[in-house]
Amino acid sequence: MSEITPERVAYLAQLARIALTPDEIETLTGELGAIVDAVATVQQVATPDVPATSHPIPLTGGMRPDVPGVTLTTEQALAGAPDHDGSRFRVTAILGEEQ
Protein backbone atom coordinates (compact mmCIF):
# COMPACT_ATOMS: atom_id res chain seq x y z
CA MET A 1 0.00 0.00 0.00
CA SER A 2 1.36 3.38 -1.00
CA GLU A 3 2.41 5.97 1.52
CA ILE A 4 1.50 8.82 -0.83
CA THR A 5 -0.99 11.12 0.91
CA PRO A 6 -2.08 14.67 -0.03
CA GLU A 7 -0.10 15.97 2.97
CA ARG A 8 3.05 14.23 1.74
CA VAL A 9 2.61 15.56 -1.81
CA ALA A 10 2.17 19.08 -0.43
CA TYR A 11 5.35 18.68 1.63
CA LEU A 12 7.33 17.31 -1.35
CA ALA A 13 6.10 20.23 -3.48
CA GLN A 14 7.34 22.60 -0.81
CA LEU A 15 10.76 20.90 -0.84
CA ALA A 16 10.82 21.07 -4.65
CA ARG A 17 9.72 24.75 -4.66
CA ILE A 18 6.60 24.25 -6.77
CA ALA A 19 3.46 26.10 -5.62
CA LEU A 20 1.01 23.33 -6.56
CA THR A 21 -2.71 24.11 -6.49
CA PRO A 22 -5.02 22.00 -4.30
CA ASP A 23 -6.39 20.36 -7.47
CA GLU A 24 -2.90 19.41 -8.63
CA ILE A 25 -2.09 17.96 -5.22
CA GLU A 26 -5.21 15.80 -5.35
CA THR A 27 -4.46 14.53 -8.88
CA LEU A 28 -0.80 13.90 -8.15
CA THR A 29 -1.62 11.97 -4.98
CA GLY A 30 -3.52 9.37 -6.99
CA GLU A 31 -1.02 9.23 -9.85
CA LEU A 32 2.06 9.05 -7.66
CA GLY A 33 0.48 6.36 -5.50
CA ALA A 34 0.09 4.14 -8.57
CA ILE A 35 3.57 4.95 -9.86
CA VAL A 36 5.27 4.32 -6.51
CA ASP A 37 3.50 0.97 -6.18
CA ALA A 38 4.80 0.03 -9.66
CA VAL A 39 8.40 1.15 -9.17
CA ALA A 40 8.62 -0.47 -5.73
CA THR A 41 9.09 -3.80 -7.55
CA VAL A 42 12.82 -2.97 -7.72
CA GLN A 43 12.99 -4.09 -4.10
CA GLN A 44 12.22 -7.69 -5.13
CA VAL A 45 15.68 -8.21 -6.65
CA ALA A 46 17.78 -5.53 -4.91
CA THR A 47 19.28 -7.89 -2.38
CA PRO A 48 22.07 -6.79 0.01
CA ASP A 49 24.77 -8.69 -1.95
CA VAL A 50 24.21 -6.62 -5.13
CA PRO A 51 26.43 -3.54 -5.41
CA ALA A 52 24.86 -0.27 -6.60
CA THR A 53 25.78 1.26 -9.96
CA SER A 54 25.60 5.03 -10.16
CA HIS A 55 27.49 5.51 -13.40
CA PRO A 56 27.23 3.24 -16.45
CA ILE A 57 30.79 3.63 -17.76
CA PRO A 58 33.33 4.01 -14.93
CA LEU A 59 35.99 6.64 -15.65
CA THR A 60 38.79 7.91 -13.46
CA GLY A 61 39.30 11.65 -13.25
CA GLY A 62 42.16 13.18 -15.16
CA MET A 63 44.29 16.27 -14.66
CA ARG A 64 44.50 19.23 -17.00
CA PRO A 65 46.88 22.19 -17.08
CA ASP A 66 45.73 24.98 -14.77
CA VAL A 67 45.47 27.72 -17.37
CA PRO A 68 42.73 30.31 -17.82
CA GLY A 69 40.19 29.31 -20.45
CA VAL A 70 37.53 31.25 -22.28
CA THR A 71 34.72 32.07 -19.87
CA LEU A 72 31.50 34.05 -20.05
CA THR A 73 31.69 37.81 -19.61
CA THR A 74 29.50 39.39 -16.94
CA GLU A 75 27.30 40.76 -19.70
CA GLN A 76 26.86 37.31 -21.26
CA ALA A 77 26.15 35.71 -17.90
CA LEU A 78 23.47 38.30 -17.12
CA ALA A 79 21.95 38.37 -20.62
CA GLY A 80 19.24 35.82 -19.85
CA ALA A 81 18.47 36.95 -16.29
CA PRO A 82 14.94 38.10 -15.44
CA ASP A 83 16.46 41.06 -13.53
CA HIS A 84 19.97 42.37 -12.81
CA ASP A 85 21.80 45.55 -11.88
CA GLY A 86 24.57 45.33 -14.46
CA SER A 87 26.93 43.25 -12.36
CA ARG A 88 24.69 41.02 -10.21
CA PHE A 89 21.45 39.05 -10.45
CA ARG A 90 18.69 41.00 -8.68
CA VAL A 91 16.11 39.14 -6.57
CA THR A 92 13.41 40.07 -4.12
CA ALA A 93 13.78 39.70 -0.32
CA ILE A 94 15.70 36.57 0.63
CA LEU A 95 14.35 36.46 4.22
CA GLY A 96 10.70 36.60 5.23
CA GLU A 97 9.45 38.71 8.16
CA GLU A 98 9.47 35.82 10.64
CA GLN A 99 13.14 35.10 9.89
Partner 1 sequence: MSAAANSADLTRATAADLAARLAAGEVSSVEVTQAHLDRIAAVDGDVHAFLHVNAAALETAAQVDADRAAGVALPELAGMPIAIKDVLCTLDMPSTSGSKILEGWVPPYDATVVARLRAARMIPLGKTNMDEFAMGSSTEHSAYGPTRNPWDLERIPGGSGGGSAAAVSAFEAPVALGSDTGGSIRQPAAVTGSVGVKPTYGAVSRYGAIALASSLDQVGPVSRSVLDAALVHDVIGGHDARDATSIPDAWPSMAEAARRGAQGDVLKGLRVGVVRELRGESGGFQAGVKQRFEETLDLLAGAGAEIVEVSAPNFEYAVAAYYLILPAEASSNLAKFDSVRFGLRVEVPGGTVEDVMAATREAGFGPEVKRRIILGTYALSAGYYDAYYGSAQKVRTLIQRDFAAAFEKADILVSPSAPTTAFRFGEKLADPLAMYLNDVTTIPANLAGVPGMGLPMGLAPEDSLPTGLQLMAPAREDARLYEAGAAIEALLETHWGGPLWAQVPALSGSASNGGAR
Question: Which H/E stretch holds residue 32?
Answer: helix 22-39
- Of the two residues 82 and 86, which places its CB atom closer to partner 1 in the complex? 82
Q: Are 33 and 2 within 8 A, CB to CB?
A: yes
Instruction: Give the whole-angstrom CA distance, residue 5 versus residue 28.
Output: 9
Q: Where on the chain is the footprint of partner 1 (CB under 8 A)? A: 4, 8-9, 12-21, 24, 28, 31-32, 34-36, 38-47, 50-57, 59, 61-62, 64, 72, 76-77, 79-83, 89, 91-96
**In the complex, minimum distance from the CB of residue 60 to partner 1, in angstroms, rounded to a whole number:** 10
**In the complex, minimum distance from the CB of residue 68 to partner 1, in angstroms, rounded to a whole number:** 14
Q: How far is C-alpha 36 from the geometric centre of its chain's CA atoms?
A: 18
**In the complex, minimum distance from the CB of residue 28 to partner 1, in angstroms, rounded to a whole number:** 6
